[in-house]
Amino acid sequence: MKNKTDLIKQLKHYFGFDTFKGDQEAIIRNVLAGHDTFVLMPTGGGKSLCYQLPALIMDGTAIVISPLIALMKNQVDAIRQVSADDGIAHFMNSSLNRASLDQVKTDVLAGRTKLLYVAPESLTKDENIDFLRQVKISFYAVDEAHCISEWGHDFRPEYRRIRPIINEIGHAPVIALTATATDKVRGDIKKNLGMPDADEFKSSFNRPNLYYEVRPKTKEIDKEIIKFIRQMKGKSGIIYCLSRRKVEELAEILRANDINARAYHAGMDTPTRTQTQDDFIMEEIDVIVATIAFGMGIDKPDVRYVIHYDIPKSLEGYYQETGRAGRDGGEGKCITFYTYRDLQKLEKFMEGKPVAEQDIGRQLLQETAAYAETTVCRRRVLLQLLRRELHAGELRQLRQLPAPVVTHRGARRPAAGTNRDTRHQGELQGQPRHRRAHWYPHRGGAGTQARRTGMLRFG
């Protein structure tokens, strides 16, 4: 197989980078060696390159299964930059007309196409399966692989059909990638993709440049958000709300306060959504107010803050959403507004759903509540609840740093003895307080106590 200098040369040649990030090189070598590969890497870690580079190097066409129809064109355009031949990358989804689809097929069959992005819906169509059976496939990449699991936050039933369809099309190694997998989700992915012996590459999920804070949600929330955004003038941010109505309302309020904000949710038509997304990436817009429909796979490196207006439905989802801040390694503030009433509201919404779904929903919600109400360092709780181990070095770092304190009015004060600069570091990294986290706090107990006294501690 390719030796070390070769791979670096290829990296430089195709992408212009001098070094690999994290486990990229080991992962790429594993794919080149033809092994099934499972990649767990946080958002912004550089997962795409793990299949793009081997696809460009290997014989045949890599089939990339990705749920992000809205972004497929961007991804294909990005790959096309590395070659004089546009046929090098294509996508197949429901947006293609007959003529474009014929062009795709011609290029693929001629062996010009190295990467073929396919939406899971398209993969399940008989016509496409018949076509793909004629193709020399280098490997299959399943991006956003957590969509396979009901325990993931973006469950897509069509993802469950990937393995049977791969079997129909023809065997080739599989690389599954996700930024989000608890043990349950990980087990589901491996089982469903039929890759029990896949080599696993797990990166650290501690993102020390992200600062997590939970503020009590009061009537003053809009004012508080406006004040915060004004302090971050000209910087990019995302605000997540649970309902489309709230998204539109808040975007309106922000605009009335001279903040360059735009709404985004799944109820808007596709051209408007695409335009909004592009405008945000191109910095025509500072703030996106959105439902969770916004953000997956969007590669904007300098998002400086992510605010959750409402408590998120699951901690996995929360970790993904906040992970969109600070992809470039710079500062990322993650602020969540929490009130017990929101939790009750979400539980109520679940009442009409099938029992199994309710059970899953409640458990996920419990974790989020435990996170919001904990009195220990939020970074630690987040990582623990997501069952990610912290490396010894990271734990030491956490212990060394001071913890700031939040009061019920959201007024922050630094821990005693910290000057501005170290407080800033403390905000980023925090120090755990050795009190027990309560796991299901919303029927009394320490969580209720914390609410009554109005004092939340975070790290």
Q: Which residues bind ligand ADP (CB under 6 A)?
A: 17, 20-21, 24, 41, 43-49, 299, 301, 327
Which runs of E-coded beta strand occur in 302-381?
A: 303-308, 332-338
Interaction pattern, residues 19-48, with Mg ion; x per rule: CB under 5 A:
----------------------------x-
Helix and strand numbers, DSSP H then E, in the chain: 19, 16
| Spatial distance between the Cα atoms of 240 and 249, rounded to a whole number of angstroms | 12
Nearer to ligand ADP, 70 or 241 (CB): 70
CA distances from 444 to 219, 364, 452 (A): 23, 19, 10
- Look at residues 334, 56, 301, 71 and name the one whose alpha carbon lies nearest to residue 208: 334
The Cα 403–Cα 406 span in angstroms is 10
Nearer to Mg ion, 49 or 289 (CB): 49
Q: What tokens appear for 202 in the block?
A: 């797990």
**Distance of closest approach, residue 68 Cβ to ligand ADP, in angstroms:** 10
Give CA angle at 452 (450, 457), nearest 5°.
30
Quick one: 240 or 338, whose CB is closer to ligand ADP? 240
Structure tokens at 24: 């990229």
Q: What's the closest the beta carbon of residue 342 comes to ligand ADP, in angstroms?
A: 28
299 makes contact, choosing from Mg ion, ligand ADP, none, with CB < 5 to 8 Å by partner type, with ligand ADP
Three-state DSSP at 431 gives coil
Which of 48, 277 has the CB closer to ligand ADP? 48
12 residue type, one letter: K
Bridge partners (DSSP) listed for residue 303: 236
- Smallest separation (angstroms) from Mg ion to the CB of 41: 9
Indicate which of Mg ion, ligand ADP, none lies near residue 45 (CB less than 5 to 8 Å, by partner kind).
ligand ADP
Q: Which is nearer to ligand ADP, 47 or 90 (CB)?
A: 47
Choose from Mg ion, ligand ADP, none: what does 41 bind? Cβ within 5-8 Å by kind. ligand ADP
Min separation Cβ 141 and Mg ion, Å: 11
Query: What is the C-alpha to C-alpha distance for residues 225 and 299, in angstroms, rounded to an integer?
Result: 24
The site partner of 301 among Mg ion, ligand ADP, none (C-beta below 5 to 8 Å per kind) is ligand ADP
In single-letter form, the type of residue at position 346 comes to L
Per-residue binding string, Mg ion, 213-252, x by CB under 5 A, is ----------------------------------------
The nearer residue to Mg ion, 47 or 300, going by C-beta atoms, is 47
Tell me the closest approach of the beta carbon of residue 203 to ligand ADP, in angstroms.
9
Q: Phi and psi dihedrals of 265, rounded to 5?
A: -155, 170
338 binds, among ligand ADP, Mg ion, none (CB under 5 to 8 A by kind): none
Least separation in angstroms between CB 303 and ligand ADP: 12
Comparing every residue's Cβ against Mg ion, the nearest one is: 47
Q: How far apart are CA 116 and CA 398, in angstroms?
A: 43
Contact of 166 with 174, CB cutoff 8 Å: yes
Rounded to a whole number of angstroms, the minimum distance from the CB of residue 148 to ligand ADP is: 17
Q: Which helix (H) or strand (E) holds 79?
A: helix 69-80
Residues engaged in binding Mg ion (CB under 5 A):
47
